[in-house]
Amino acid sequence: MAARILLVRHGQTEWSRTGQHTGRTDVPLLAEGRRGAELLGARLQGPPWDGLPDVEVRTSPLARARETCALAGFGERAEDWDALLEWDYGAYEGLTSPQIAERAGPDWLIWRDGVEGGERIADVTARVDTVVEWARSADRDVLVFAHGHVLRALGARWLGFGLDFGARVQLDPASLSILGWSYGAPAVERWNDTGHLG
């Protein structure tokens, strides 16, 4: 099994700044997002990671994740993987949570209620389970560049919880998270670490 799976959320975009659900729309990084990716890359070049010379790298094919990966210094080593695409938000694409709540009801929660005309919770679960299975079968650390909701879902599934656990964990742009093992059980080593941005 992999010693660790390192998760990187893409850098800041206009829609992540405004809280708009950004699924499959290819929104570019802001200058701030590009800078965050570069700072993350510089951090991963230093100890204790030392450039992660043996890590296997995969990225969402969407530009904001792919560019974050490249700016962090891992673009040439990365393989695009559709399993890392963001949740398909369907009719809720580009809307904020308050705007969606106006349509779906005030207690709407994506992790419980899903989306209208987009990807079902069961489908997102199956997709991230594929990523978990791949990471656990690897013989070395793996590094993935992806998106807020899909990475929160991945964290939930790594720990053995349902997708609704994703509602309980925040994930900021250009953050680093590490999932590993403790006493033989899946564990969180680091979550939503943005120390390199300070």
Contact in structure between 143 and 6 (CB atoms under 8 Å): yes
- Residues serving a catalytic function are 10, 86
| Residue 169, CB-side half-sphere exposure with 13 Å CA sphere | 25
**Up-side HSE of residue 145: CA atoms within 13 Å toward CB?**
31
pLDDT for 2 equals 59
Q: How far apart are CA 117 and CA 91, in angstroms?
A: 6
Provide mean pLDDT across the span 55-62: 98
Per-residue pLDDT for 24 more than 60? Answer: yes
Measured CA to CA, the distance from residue 77 to residue 74 in angstroms comes to 5
pTM, 2 dp: 0.96
User: What is the per-residue pLDDT across 143-190, written as a single tens digit (0 to 9) for each?
Assistant: 999 999 999 999 999 999 999 999 999 999 999 999 999 999 999 999
Q: What are the DSSP E strand ranges found in the chain?
A: 5-9, 56-59, 78-80, 142-146, 176-182, 185-193
Q: Flag whether pLDDT at 3 surpasses 90.
A: no
Residue-range domain boundaries for the chain: 5-197
- Give the per-residue pLDDT at 198: 86
Q: Which CATH architecture has domain 5-197?
A: 3-Layer(aba) Sandwich (3.40)
Four-residue CA torsion sign, 145, 151, 157, 158: positive
Average per-residue pLDDT in the chain?
96
Q: Are 112 and 163 in contact (CB under 8 A)?
A: no
User: Of 43 and 198, which is predicted with more confidence?
Assistant: 43
Q: What is the pLDDT of residues 98-143, one digit of tens each?
A: 999 999 999 999 999 999 999 999 999 999 999 999 999 999 999 9
